Amino acid sequence: SQGLSVLVGLGLCVTMLGLGCAVELGQLGQQLRRPVGLLLALLGQFVAMPLLAFLLALIFALDEVAAVAVLICGCCPGGNLSNLMSVLVDGDMNLSIIMTASSTLLALFLMPLCLWIYSRHWINTAVVQLLPLGAVSLTLGSTLLPIGLGVLIRYRHPRAADLLVKISLWSLLVTLVVLFILTGTMLGPDLLAQIPASVYAIAVLMPLAGYALGYGLATVFKMPPHCRRTVSLETGCQNVQLCTAILKLTFSPELIGSMYMFPLLYVLFQSAEAGLFVLAYKMYGRDSYKQDTLGEEEDTDISYKKLKEEEVADTSYGTVTTDEHNSIQMQPTQTAL
């Protein structure tokens, strides 16, 4: 148990450090002047996803322990997996990083608020009465230090920051694999057998619905296709390291039980569905995206050529003609503008 706690804490710190290293102060200032990314992160991570988690918990009639685990995962900010996936689908990397960073900062205040609001349905149960909102806030606050350190490293040492970003992405994969192995070795298949089928169904449906909600949200804002793909991935990808840390560090094993495994199941299906998203884009969407981009460029060239042809300036204000009686007449002509 202590080894898992240390591993989860270190993995979370490295991930947040990598997130800070990916943020540039110039881009951050630009996004604050036009806070579209901030607004999308707010709507996606703290309006759409918590409501989705709450509705799924009601639809599948989860007990209070499973419902709290699902709610905590749904209220978490965006994760680093979305940044990697955005690169693979030719998305807007700056938008993805800003959404991840801003949702992480907003989570310090909004995540406890969302948990308090949506857990009211199970308020009479022991697990909700003992829901440690203060510990959740403390865990969130502890992530600010590595984020701030990462931003400072990016400002002072850009090359080192690039290396740390790559290390954080690899540490994300390694940490999740090690957690699966350690949990499976220590607790065996009995733990997975204790998880209800409804929880497995939510682990499959929740990220898929998150991707769809994010794409619809970006469509409402009339964003270009590459930004829609970015917002879609950013909304459906939750920070499962943070969810795991909250469940592991703030709840006793006797209280949370097998639901400790929910964020690991979530990231498994979240990654698989995002991988299918990337595969579909590589097979079908990429060529059409290039054709659309080429078509826009050709239309621009044609319009430019046509405009240049029409810009034939006629400097004559009229022509002089003579009639049979040697009289001179002025016949005005229309000047082409």
> How far from chain centre, in Å, is Cα 154?
21
CB atoms within 10 A of CB 293: 12
The pLDDT-based confidence of 216 (bands split at 50, 70, 90) is very high
pLDDT, average across residues 257-286: 83
The listed range with the strongest mean pLDDT (50-64, 67-81, 110-124, 315-329) is: 50-64
195-222: average pLDDT: 91
Class in CATH terms, 2-283: mainly alpha
Residue of higher predicted confidence among 62 and 301: 62
* DSSP secondary structure of 61-105: T--HHHHHHHHHHHHS-B-THHHHHHHHTT--HHHHHHHHHHHHH
Predicted confidence (pLDDT) at residue 156 exceeds the cutoff of 70: yes
What is 174-213 written as a DSSP string?
HHHHHHHHHHHHHH-HHHHHHS-HHHHHHHHHHHHHHHHH
Question: Which tens digits make up the pLDDT trace of 75-112?
Answer: 998 877 787 788 788 888 778 888 888 888 888 889 98
Q: Give yes or no for residue 308 having a pLDDT over 50.
A: no
Q: What residue ranges do the domains of the chain occupy?
A: 2-283
Do residues 147 and 19 touch, judged by C-beta distance below 8 A?
yes
What's the CA gap between 202 and 52, in Å, rounded?
Answer: 10
Q: What pLDDT does 29 receive?
A: 66
Give the model's confidence band at 12: pLDDT under 50 very low, under 70 low, under 90 confident, else very high: confident
